[in-house]
Amino acid sequence: MSLNITLINTSDLGGASKSCQRLFWGLLSSNFSSSLLLLNNHSLDHDFVRSFMKEGPQFLSNSKLARLKRGANRLWKEMQIRQFYSNQPRSFSPHISRFDLTYHPAYQKADILNLHWVSHFLDFPSFFTKNNKPIVWTLHDMFPFTGGYHYDEDENISSHVSYLRKQEKLKEKWYQDQKIIFVAPSKWMYNEARSSAVLQGKAILHIPYGVDTQLYRPLDQGFCRNILRIQNPRLPVILFVAQNIRDKRKGFSYLVEALKQIKEPICLLAVGKKPRKSFKNHLPPGSQEYYVGTITDEALMSIIYNTADLFVIPSLQDNLPNTVLESLACGTPVVGFQVGGIPDMVNNGENGFLAPLRSSESLFEAIELGINNKWDRNQISIWAKTNFSLEKQAKAYIKLFKRIAS
């Protein structure tokens, strides 16, 4: 049976995009016909990766009337977006866009669509009116079943409750006649989707993300520390990734307060945006801190994970963070809160510790346990490879695609 699958994502950047790309490469490695359609493609160079912004306009009618209609439609939608959405936090996305991806050949040639993070790309009203293809929608966050927020922690502080409920009703209507299956990467997201009013009666499955275990694997720690020029090899190295420290959901303030309670000197290794204030004054005397900036090279990230003795993720709500999978695949234990999909990956005392309470004290205690525990890094990596390989993820999706086609 020959099937053409088109994976659709807004960009080639970000955590959801990374997960989407990993599934794409996993399908191709399994010799399964797939293409990836992106609104914006900054760096991916592959025959089966298509960019809507670069290619889309050429597939539209170029008559004067058609151009005028598209221009009027675009202005109307942009006015709508500015009127309400511009005052919303970053974690809020509109259900409308000025794009119609059904014009693109990657859409038209597809037997099955695999939607991923499609905010600002997918125009819900026009897409679900025109679409007649089966859909598999991978739930990277809650946006497909909320009124516009990507996580309900942000929705709980919204003053536009009536508007959000209206948007949820519209989503129920848009999905009603669609042949659509939702896939949750974490058990937590699976349960959230199952309990949502928007997805009542819809098929929801659980398929975890995969991680490239050839790239993310145990390396010699001394070699990795030499590359990063860690000066004191005797200090325990604690790693954290701070791509967006202003996002309260990422729990950065809890990490700051937890680190203040550590008594023995440590080496703090940070990836991402540097905080305005240094941690140095909050760490024990003799501690060191290293900021390596934003890292896009995955081979270098593997070296960074292998440098660390412990990876700390203080997220207050998260799906199935790639950083946790990557750390475990490298054999580096993880500490985080017992929230979201993190318990799917972290087993207390085996490959990390979970802080049971959402407090800096609880996080500190878990960090202390993590520093003082004797870890079997090879076993941690083997467990990650067994449960979260790209091959395992691709096999589950291929089975699903074939079931839909039959």
Residue ranges of the domains in the chain? 5-210+389-405, 221-387
Average pLDDT, the chain: 87
Q: How confident is the model at residue 199 (pLDDT cuts 50, 70, 90)?
A: very high
State how beta strands 135-138 and 112-115 pair: parallel
Work out the average pLDDT over 42-62: 66
The Cβ of residue 384 has, within 10 Å, a number of other Cβ atoms equal to 24
Strand partners, 299: none
CA angle 45/51/52 to nearest 5° reads 175
Question: Is pLDDT at 64 greater than 60 in this prediction?
Answer: no
Question: Is pLDDT at 207 greater than 80 in this prediction?
Answer: yes
Cα gap 401→146, rounded to integer Å: 26
Q: End-to-end alpha-carbon separation of the chain, Å?
A: 9
Q: Which pLDDT does position 90 carry in this prediction? A: 54
Phi, psi values for residue 8, rounded to 5°: -125, 125
- Name the more confident of 308 and 126: 308
Q: Which pLDDT does position 405 carry in this prediction? A: 92
The pTM for the full model equals 0.90
Q: Which pLDDT does position 367 carry in this prediction? A: 97
Extract the tokens encoding 353: 């510790």
359-399 per-position pLDDT tens digit:
999 999 999 999 999 999 999 999 999 999 999 999 999 99
CATH number corresponding to 5-210+389-405: 3.40.50.2000
Question: Is pLDDT at 276 greater than 80 in this prediction?
Answer: no
Do residues 199 and 182 make contact, with C-beta atoms less than 8 angstroms apart?
A: yes
Phi, psi values for residue 196, rounded to 5°: -80, 145
- What is the domain class of 221-387 according to CATH? alpha beta
Q: Which pLDDT does position 61 carry in this prediction? A: 42
Q: How confident is the model at residue 169 (pLDDT cuts 50, 70, 90)?
A: very high
Identical fold at 5-210+389-405 and 221-387?
Answer: yes
209-226 per-position pLDDT tens digit:
999 999 999 999 999 999
Question: Is pLDDT at 165 greater than 80 in this prediction?
Answer: yes
Q: How confident is the model at residue 60 (pLDDT cuts 50, 70, 90)?
A: very low
Work out the average pLDDT over 156-175: 80
- Name the more confident of 150 and 145: 145
Work out the average pLDDT over 241-249: 73
Work out the average pLDDT over 67-85: 52
Work out the average pLDDT over 320-335: 97
Question: Is pLDDT at 65 greater than 80 in this prediction?
Answer: no
Q: Which pLDDT does position 307 carry in this prediction? A: 97
**E strand or H helix that includes residue 392:** helix 390-405
- Name the more confident of 167 and 175: 175
SS3 of residue 191 by DSSP: helix
Tokens 């202003």, located at residue = 246
Q: Which pLDDT does position 159 carry in this prediction? A: 55
**Lowest-confidence range among 96-105, 175-184, 237-246, 254-263?**
237-246
Give the rounded percent of residues in the chain with a pLDDT score beyond 70: 86
Q: How confident is the model at residue 83 (pLDDT cuts 50, 70, 90)?
A: low
Question: Is pLDDT at 58 greater than 60 in this prediction?
Answer: no
